Amino acid sequence: MTLPFSPARPRRIAFAGTPDDAVPALQALDEGGFEIPVVVTGAPRRRSRRGSDTPSPVAAAAEGLSLPVSYEPADLAGCGADCAVVVAYGQLIGEDLLAVTPMLNLHFSLLPRWRGAAPVERALLAGDDRTGVSLMALEATLDTGPVYWRHEVPVGPADTAAELRQRLAHDGAQRLAESLAGGLGTPQSQSGEPTYARKLTPADRQIDWSQPTALIDRQIRVGGAWTALDGERFIVREANPLADGPDDPPGTLRDDSVATRDGMIRLAVVQPAGRVAIDAQDWLRGARLPSGTRFG
């Protein structure tokens, strides 16, 4: 059961979020003058056996704003807030909490398109020319709640997932604070055929050079795209698509570019196995690969 949202203009708002994507929303609520009794976030991560715990980006931001931090979801319902705002928290909110406190979720897609964990990556990989941010009432089922508003954002031809996510996070944060201050109105049930944004696997990120140049370019802009070279994983961090090229088999290296089904991908920043990312030209000079080397 999800508790109906009230009041229309809440002033005391609990917050839940974990990564960098959630920080702008927390900052916007603080700057908007809302009282934030608790910030719930993911537990700190230990970098190494001897390393110190590293707080989540949201925890670090909350501490910088002198806001209390908790790692217990139950505190969202136990702090006396009018409602809670959830942004990329990374954990499920139980029905027991939803029955006690009205909760809103800022989701980085135009719902019902791309429900799930990786909406930005899936929109980019699919070649969507626009995406956006939705504010919905949080329900126990995955991203199915009624929507208060959607904010549309164009997807540029060179946008990376990181750039697009940052833009969505900032635009969504501003719209969130404005709508809470001005009144939310009545949410509308989602309409249309839903699509699902499952988390990307290593297989999703593996480059198939026999695919069209445009698809491979989008894979690289999503982040973490990889291929094989001499039996080891080789990550392509940045690249540029080329419409034309020699009639080589897909995966063939010519100078600084790799053949695809219908063009070439010019390597810009690469990361060979066991090494840090490096300018492709510097790597090519050191690697001295013969023209005609095959990736894949």
- Give the whole-angstrom CA distance, residue 210 versus residue 249: 8
The model carries a pTM of 0.91
- Give the whole-angstrom CA distance, residue 119 versus residue 106: 12
Region 143-159: mean pLDDT is 97
| Residues 116, 54 share a domain | yes
Kindly report, residue by residue over 199-257, the tens digit of the pLDDT.
Answer: 999 999 999 999 999 999 999 999 999 999 999 999 999 999 998 878 899 999 999 99
Which range of residues forms the domain containing residue 241? 202-287
Kindly report, residue by residue over 10-52, the tens digit of the pLDDT.
Answer: 899 999 999 999 999 999 999 999 999 999 999 988 765 666 7
Which of 152, 182, 212 is the endpoint of a domain?
Answer: 182
| Residues 99, 206 share a domain | no
Which of 182, 213, 240 is the endpoint of a domain?
Answer: 182
- Give the whole-angstrom CA distance, residue 48 versus residue 258: 37
Could you write out the DSSP letters of every residue in 239-258?
EEEES----PPTTBEETTEE
| Residues 115, 69 share a domain | yes
Task: Note whether 207 and 227 are within 8 A (CB).
Answer: yes
Q: Is residue 197 part of a domain?
A: no
Task: Note whether 294 and 253 are within 8 A (CB).
Answer: yes
| Residues 173, 93 share a domain | yes
| Residues 166, 29 share a domain | yes
C-alpha torsion sign, points 44, 47, 53, 55: negative
Name the domain count of the chain: 2
The beta strand positions in the chain, using DSSP E, are 13-17, 39-40, 45-46, 53-54, 69-70, 83-87, 103-107, 130-137, 147-154, 226-229, 232-242, 253-254, 257-259, 264-271, 278-279
**218: amino acid identity, one letter:** R
- Give the whole-angstrom CA distance, residue 26 versus residue 31: 9
CATH code at 240? 3.10.25.10
Burial of 183 (0-12, 13-18, 19+ CB in 10 A): exposed
| Residues 262, 207 share a domain | yes
* pLDDT for res 132: 98
Q: Is residue 136 part of a domain?
A: yes
| Residues 235, 166 share a domain | no
User: Is the model's pLDDT at 62 over the cut of 70?
Assistant: yes
